[in-house]
Amino acid sequence: MADALHYLEAAERLWQSTNDYSHLFQPIGMLLNHSVELSLKSYCLFCGYSVDLLRGDFGHDLFRLYETAMENDLRRWLEMNPKDSAQLKYWNEANIRKHGRFPRRYAEFGVSPGNDKYMRGFAKRMLEACVRKSVGDPNEVVDLGPSDFSVR
């Protein structure tokens, strides 16, 4: 879970380092993607899944990890957004289909630059859900530190 936070912090610092981040889209996307993946895997570990299963059977499939987390009561711990499922599915499929994993430019990704802002918020919300799950309190107030992007 700590690694997921580190990847999210790295993405935020990279984001803050420039006003024109179009040339940084792929590195930011990789950091966000990995933060979300590690958060989802952490959640699944808390639910009793083994590291070997998560690495082998799930790999880097964010949507499959998300669906598995949802089957294990993720709604109880995650501040849900109605767009979560569709956005994550689209992000995952675009990454895998078009580039093996990550898009290189917005034009290749096929969506507006705002999608990465959504992923930044989702990465933060997933980390918050993992902290809540780890302490066993769905109402736990989680402070991941200052951030320049909204949770939504």
CA distances from residue 54 to 48, 121, 150 in whole angstroms, order as listed: 11, 24, 29
Residue 131 near residue 69, CB atoms below 8 Å: no
Number of domains present in the structure of the chain: 1
Q: Report pTM.
A: 0.80
List, for residues 4-43, the tens digit of each pLDDT value: 999 999 988 888 887 766 677 778 878 888 899 999 999 9
What number of residues does the chain have?
152
Query: What pLDDT does residue 97 have?
Result: 62
In a domain, 99, yes or no: yes
In a domain, 149, yes or no: no
Burial label, 144 (beta-carbon count in 10 A; 0-12, 13-18, 19+): middle
Task: Return the higher-pLDDT residue of 121 and 106.
Answer: 121
In a domain, 73, yes or no: yes
Q: Which domain holds residue 89?
A: 2-135
In a domain, 87, yes or no: yes
In a domain, 127, yes or no: yes
Q: Which amino acid is at 36?
A: V
In a domain, 147, yes or no: no
CA distance linking residue 111 with residue 105, whole number of Å: 10
Residue 109, pLDDT above cutoff 60: no
In a domain, 126, yes or no: yes
In a domain, 141, yes or no: no
Count, in order, helices (H) and strands (E) of the chain.
7, 0
